[in-house]
Structures are given as C-alpha cells and as structure tokens.
C-alpha cells in the first residue's frame, strides 16, 4: 500500500538524501514537507547551526521570545525546502511555510511556486485570522497559481495565546475564493465537530454547481488516542474518503519511528473498527492527498 504523509516539518539541516533515506525506513512513498517557519531564521542561533534552528525554543514556544518578519527569511526558508525537494520531486512535495506579515509575501509566494517549483503554502494563524483582509491578496495569488494551502487548525501548542485564531469556523471566508483548495490540519482537535460542520458548509456552497468541495481534512495527530476513533468515525463518513488525508506531523528524522506507528493505528481503526474496504483505506493513505495536490487518481 502506498503511503503519503501530508504533514512533515523541516528542521533546517536535513538534505534531500537524508529525507529519502528516512522515508524509505518509514515505508513512505511520498511526503509533503513544510519549510522552516521563516521568522525563526532571524532568531538567535546556537553555535554550530548550519542553517536554521529548532523551531521551538526551550520554553516550548514556537520561534523564541521575539520574532522579526523579514522578506529575506521567507526566501531562505523557501530555498532550503526547494533544495531538499529537488533531490526527488516525485517523492518530496515541498511547501513554503509563509508568514503573511512579512514584506513582499505575495511576490515571495509566487517566486517559491513558479521559480522554485514548490507545491503550495503552509500557514499557522498567529494573532491573525483566515478571514482578515490582509490574507485576500495571498488567496488570490495562490488560487491563480492553482496550488493548495495547508493551515494549522485546532489547539495550538506554540505562538502564545493563538488558539483563538485557529478555530475551524474562522476559515469560512475562504469560500469567496472557490478555486482555492485548502486543508485544515489535526481535524481541528478539539473542535472536531466544528471542523466537520465547516466542511459541510463548503459542500453546501458547491451543491449543484458541479464543482468539488475546496476543503480537505488533514488527520495528522492532535487527536490523542482516546479521541482518535471517534474523530475518524465522524470525519470519514461525513466528508468522504477523497477529502480526508493521512498525516504524521513530525520532522523527517523522526519518520522511521513515528510514521509506521501512526499508519498502523489508523489502518486498524479504518479496517478493523470501521470496516472500510481496501480501496477506501488506500484513498485515505494516498488518493485524498493526490486529489488535494490536483493530481488525477
């Protein structure tokens, strides 16, 4: 069975050869790999750092105590993940983790996708919301380029008190950009029901139009085991297999340890507890992500 991990984060010091080796050890055919968060490149670096630094500081807050939003950091983050992707772009799908407050962000997104060949954009709402007007030029550009966006959604263990900006209902304004495909990560845990309801709202918006729902659900962990069965049992039948994707949410070096465990647990739930067919399970692990990236399945 082919497995595509839709949610993996760069640390900044990995090479493409490293990533492919870890993928092979993990049994993954393809991954979506997010760049470093650009503002961390302006943070204080530790001796011996060759590129960036661990996105989390010692306190667990993403990015450290102070961040700068610099255009050159966006470009450096894009260049690193593009270099990793270039080793095997059929297996490594790089995406730019974009900071909307960085100067020239629309132009840098276009450069990352058009000139560097990255596959889309990752964002985490941090004291801004998906419906803020500053986001509209970004949506227009990515919609024009035909690439997807991947958002964090749900409880957020970094960026200070940012969870209030990550509620799934706050993403409803994206329906004004109907050709923009987007995914909400972590099934928005603990707001799983709200996430599924938002998916239904986007479904209602395209009902009778012949257009596909523009929203996908990234099921990477966020849901602890005690909630996992319930979350998948709700998301899969309501949203359909074609829009529910498998993800791990780790860094490449941890894939050999984490990915097989997550894949086995989810496969046991889908096949053993929910009774899904082999074809449906393959859609979860591969086909839904392929559709998200605009590939024919």
Domain of 20 in residue numbering reads as 4-292
Number of structural domains, the chain? 1
Within the chain, what is the greatest distance between any pair of CA atoms?
A: 59
3-state secondary structure of 263: helix
Asked whether residue 25 is assigned to any structural domain, the reply reads yes
Give, as one character, the DSSP assignment of residue 293: T
Asked whether residue 18 is assigned to any structural domain, the reply reads yes
Least confident of 64-68, 249-253, 270-274: 64-68
In whole angstroms, give the CA distance from residue 133 to residue 222.
Answer: 28
Asked whether residue 191 is assigned to any structural domain, the reply reads yes
Asked whether residue 238 is assigned to any structural domain, the reply reads yes
Asked whether residue 235 is assigned to any structural domain, the reply reads yes
Q: DSSP per residue over 175-228, as a string?
A: GGSTT--EEEGGGGTT-HHHHHHHHHHHHHHHTTTTPPP-EEEE--S-S-HHHH
Asked whether residue 297 is assigned to any structural domain, the reply reads no
Please tell me which residue, 14 or 50, carries the higher pLDDT value: 14
Q: What's the pLDDT at 164?
A: 93
Residue 239 has pLDDT above 90, yes or no: yes
pLDDT band at residue 44 under the 50/70/90 scheme = low
Determine what percent of the chain is predicted with pLDDT higher than 70.
Answer: 92
Q: What's the pLDDT at 50?
A: 38
Instruction: Specify the pTM.
Output: 0.92
Asked whether residue 208 is assigned to any structural domain, the reply reads yes
CATH classification of the domain holding 231? 3.20.20.140
């Amino acid at each position: 069975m082919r497995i595509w991990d839709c949610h993996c984060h760069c640390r900044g010091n990995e090479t493409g050869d490293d990533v492919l080796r870890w993928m092979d050890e993990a049994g993954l055919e393809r991954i979506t790999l997010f760049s470093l968060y650009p503002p961390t490149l302006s943070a204080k670096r530790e001796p011996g750092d060759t590129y960036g630094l661990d996105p989390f500081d010692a306190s667990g807050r993403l990015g450290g105590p102070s961040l700068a939003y610099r255009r050159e950091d966006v470009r450096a983050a894009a260049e690193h993940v593009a270099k990793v992707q270039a080793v095997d772009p059929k297996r490594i799908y790089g995406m730019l983790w974009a900071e909307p407050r960085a100067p020239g962000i629309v132009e840098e997104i276009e450069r990352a996708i058009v000139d560097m060949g990255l596959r889309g954009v990752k964002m985490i709402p941090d004291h801004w919301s998906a419906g803020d007007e500053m986001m509209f030029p970004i949506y227009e550009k990515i919609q024009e380029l035909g690439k997807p966006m991947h958002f964090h959604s749900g409880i957020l263990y970094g960026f200070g008190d940012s969870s209030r900006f990550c509620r799934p209902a706050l993403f409803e304004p994206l329906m004004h950009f109907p050709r923009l495909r987007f995914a909400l990560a972590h099934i928005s845990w603990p707001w799983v029901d709200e996430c599924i309801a938002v998916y239904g709202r986007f479904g209602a918006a395209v009902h009778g139009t012949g257009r596909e729902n523009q929203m996908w659900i990234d099921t990477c962990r966020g849901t602890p085991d005690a909630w996992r069965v319930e979350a998948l049992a709700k998301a899969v039948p309501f949203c359909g297999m074609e829009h529910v994707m498998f993800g791990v949410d780790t860094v490449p070096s941890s894939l050999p340890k984490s990915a097989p465990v997550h894949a086995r647990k989810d496969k046991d739930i889908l096949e053993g507890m929910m009774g899904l067919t082999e074809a449906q399970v393959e859609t979860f692990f591969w086909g839904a992500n392929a559709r998200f990236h605009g590939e024919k399945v």
